[in-house]
Amino acid sequence: MLVVHADRAFREHVTPEGHPECPDRFDAVLAGLADCPAVARVEAATGGDVADVVRVHDPGYVGALERLARQGGGALDPDTWLSPRSFQVALQAAGTLVRATDAALTAPPGAVERRAFAVVRPPGHHARPAAAMGFCFFNNVAVAAARARAVHGLERVAIVDVDVHHGNGTQEIFWEDGAVLVASLHRARFYPGTGGADETGAGRGKGATLNVPLPGSTPPARYKDALDGVLEATLRFGPQLLLVSAGFDAYRDDPIGGLGLGPEHYAWIGERLRATADDACEGRVVAALEGGYALEALGELARAFVGGLGR
């Protein structure tokens, strides 16, 4: 079983009408997790701390976001909109990953707190060190990874990204940091245009970035093989914590994604991630909601994933 972290405040990040990253996503996921047997309990999310965020983001960028929100917000790019409450909500999303990570790293063996799913928005994996991008302001999993190292003294953290879009922000943040493995399966030649197999890191981080771009026509069996390869590399890395960017836009009918996956495949993804965490880091795994825009299916996809991760 696992703990779900969620809060109605995540509905307060408002996007323009018709925008795919809308508050209804939060409602759809929570509805799908209602009475899910893998969920031990749902905990209210907490506020965040700028001190955690600036470990991976430029302080000037963080301050500029806060000022813009106070002025009423606005468009940061054609896709990414800041509403008056967005700064505080994004800070709370990052803080929720921090809380879940703290709990996973301090809970005794076998405790349900060692596994968590954070139902947060805005998402985070496109957020760069000094720029918002692709619906994202703060890179939630990166903030959690940096917290795990700085506060808990971890030497190795792994981030596995299963969103259909490459997590370019996460990759950029840890590009030269060999203590964090950043592994991504994503659709090739797709937004944001990064994530080639030849992108493997630099300096001390050389070899700690692993990208597996897949054609849009990839069958689920091939996706499974690719994920198994990523998780084998994760085991070799030997992480003390596994963080997951859990996007559900590889779903076959996602309106802005799609990679042929269905609920049964997300259940399998959750199971494989859980098994990897059990083998590598004493069951410590924290997943964060990233993409997924097919509202009619999002709850079922999240329920399948959580059922596998918390089984």
Averaged pLDDT for residues 290-301: 98
The band of 22, judged by pLDDT with boundaries at 50, 70 and 90, is: very high
Residue type, 78: P
Residues 57, 126, 186, 265: which is the catalytic one?
Answer: 126
Report which DSSP code applies to 3: E
Nearest 5°: phi and psi at 253?
A: -115, 25
For residue range 195-248, what is the model confidence (pLDDT) as tens digits? 999 999 999 999 999 999 999 999 999 999 999 999 999 999 999 999 999 999
Name residues whose C-beta falls within 8 Å of residue 18's C-beta, 6 or more positions apart in sequence.
Answer: none
Q: Is 123 exposed, middle or buried (0-12, 13-18, 19+ CB in 10 A)?
A: buried
CATH of the domain at 95: 3.40.800.20
The C-alpha atoms of residue 311 and residue 309 are separated, in whole angstroms, by 6
Range of weakest confidence among 44-53, 108-117, 279-288: 44-53
Q: Is 165 a catalytic residue?
A: no
Task: Please tell me the total count of domains within the chain.
Answer: 1
Cis before 122 (ω within 30) = yes
pTM of the model: 0.98
The C-alpha atoms of residue 258 and residue 20 are separated, in whole angstroms, by 14
Residue 298 has pLDDT above 90, yes or no: yes
- What is the reported pLDDT for 301? 98
- What is the reported pLDDT for 45? 83
Handedness of CA 61, 82, 255, 295 (dihedral sign): positive
Q: Specify the long-range contacts of residues 252-255, CB closer than 8 Å, at least 24 apart.
A: 253/294, 253/297, 254/164, 254/291, 254/292, 254/293, 254/294, 255/20, 255/293, 255/294
Q: Which two tokens stand for residue 90?
A: 């994004």
For residue range 89-116, what is the model confidence (pLDDT) as tens digits? 999 999 999 999 999 999 999 999 999 9
Segments forming the whole domain that contains residue 98 = 2-309
